[in-house]
Chains A and B, each alone.
Chain A
């Protein structure tokens, strides 16, 4: 007997060891950082390569954007491409997604591919990288792909017959207008400009001879938070330090204001609660229906007990008039039971059985993990500002980001190339590197 207990305990210990095995072998401290990765990104790289499969894309995106910010375009390109490959696999079966669809796992068990606004931003950054390398045609393809991600979101709000509606991401039309000009496709540029004007009437449309595009990203990423008793509701909040800045380009002694072409927080939150319900679909619905099913069964059980008492009264020779007040449907039920001639004991037994099922149903509902997925891409901006201009003879300029309130403005030196070749100047107000930072929630 003693040997048996020891063996059993040994098995249990083995169970825990095996459960941890894969995690231990992939501890990120063991991962070697390749030569091309800068020191500031080393820890982020280690975290990314040792991340769980379900979080891989999220780590890749944060790492890619950090790399882009540090001017490591090749690294950024590589990990954005890998992420896009995964994002486009939305029709492929995934074990993690199957688990996430069950009641035992939260939504964050699924393979992260981002919400619509995050997927849109993946293609946006991939497009910026192409613009930097001078491939305007591929950049426009990626802008269109970004728009397609926004289509997804819009169509969620339509009815059964609903088809996609156009994307409302004004900055993508802005980019497409400018890119079409660079490709000498004026009719395409005019079409994109019309779309831009319809969404953002205040937008300053890029002109045909504007070969320089200046983009400034300010503020922090939209935050995802859980709401509701069971944490099943996903709500968006603007980044804590997200003032309403003004951005000015100081060139040749003159100041030109950049116009705000996108509010990423608005893109994230414009679906409101509706989309969240839709994303949770099976799981949240299951919890709701599980609770109410249990509750309804409980009520039925109580009702059956009550009628069994009434039948006992009848068996004792009392009339309907002597019974306590019941609703019309309950009286109808009582009359029906009367006609069928069910004995009070049968009804009471039935009540006990239904009551048992109701307890079971409630237990299932209590054990449902309906927590929504709050993993978010943390180095996205809050707002995007842009301006296009003719580079002319080129020269040095200063971009000044002036946050409202008492925060000091930040200034960024930029250089405009002479000539007519397309040029992208991309500035991020925040210089923070975040891919190595621990994640909350």
Chain B
């Protein structure tokens, strides 16, 4: 009889012990090893913000648009500046590195244009000037050169508008505009637009 009660009570006690072990307010989430994901794959995190795949798709699309422009892709090749100095983040997305957008666009363009468009690395002008200063002092050989002048410069703006619907649904409309401005006349010679709209549902506890 005692053995019978023992066999009944022990599992109950053990169950309580294991169950109580699960009730904790401390974060006991175990670590997970990182894994590779395709750059243009949809991000599983599920935010409403611009993500890696957006940057990859956006820069590829804008690069193609630029190469199709007869003003930018012509003979003799035009000289352009593509950097983030006039590329403004005017959105509410705080964790956005706009330099990633511009750098990827420049890299893709340099490769695809294959000399049909020339690029001035104004973002690296400090390095250039340092070298010229050394040449001028005679510390190193070579002719003292001038920084190249560009005909066009990229400007742009990242904007967004969040819409909130009843029931915790939130949508975010993002618009990223790219414009090429003539540095001789300030004319706008080319423009491109990339848009995305995302929606997700927020936790009922925070609506």
> Least Cβ distance of B43 to chain A in Å?
13
**B33 beta carbon closer than 8 Å to chain A:** no
Given A91-B46, A279-B205, A14:B17 Cβ within 8 A = yes
A152 to B92: give the CA distance in the assembly, Å: 14
Interface positions of A from 99 to 115, Cβ below 8 Å from B: 100-101, 107, 110, 113
**A340 beta carbon closer than 8 Å to chain B:** no
Give the chain B neighbours of A163 by CB distance below 8 A.
163-165
> Least Cβ distance of B174 to chain A in Å?
13
Q: Which residue of B lies closest to A130 (CB)?
A: B94
> Least Cβ distance of B194 to chain A in Å?
18
Q: Are A144 and B91 in contact (CB under 8 A)?
A: yes
Q: Are B16 and A142 in contact (CB under 8 A)?
A: no
**A137 beta carbon closer than 8 Å to chain B:** yes
A151 to B202: give the CA distance in the assembly, Å: 14
Binds B, one of A4-12, A239-247, A300-308: A4-12
Give the chain B neighbours of A253 by CB distance below 8 A.
none
**A225 beta carbon closer than 8 Å to chain B:** no
Q: Are B20 and A19 in contact (CB under 8 A)?
A: yes
Give the chain B neighbours of A209 by CB distance below 8 A.
none
Q: Are B25 and A142 in contact (CB under 8 A)?
A: no
Give the chain A neighbours of B164 by CB distance below 8 A.
151-152, 155, 163-164
Q: Are A11 and B14 in contact (CB under 8 A)?
A: yes
**A393 beta carbon closer than 8 Å to chain B:** no
Give the chain B neighbours of A16 by CB distance below 8 A.
20
Interface centre among B12, B14, B25, B207, by most chain A C-beta atoms within 10 angstroms, is B25
> Least Cβ distance of A31 to chain B in Å?
13
Pull 20 A–B residue pairs with CB atoms less than 8 Å apart, ordered by A.
Answer: A1-B2, A1-B5, A8-B9, A8-B10, A8-B12, A11-B12, A18-B21, A19-B23, A23-B26, A53-B25, A88-B47, A90-B202, A91-B47, A91-B200, A101-B204, A138-B94, A141-B91, A141-B96, A148-B162, A151-B164
What 9 new A-B contacts, CB under 8 Å, besides A88-B47, A141-B91, A144-B91?
A: A7-B6, A14-B13, A21-B21, A90-B202, A91-B46, A91-B200, A97-B203, A137-B88, A138-B89
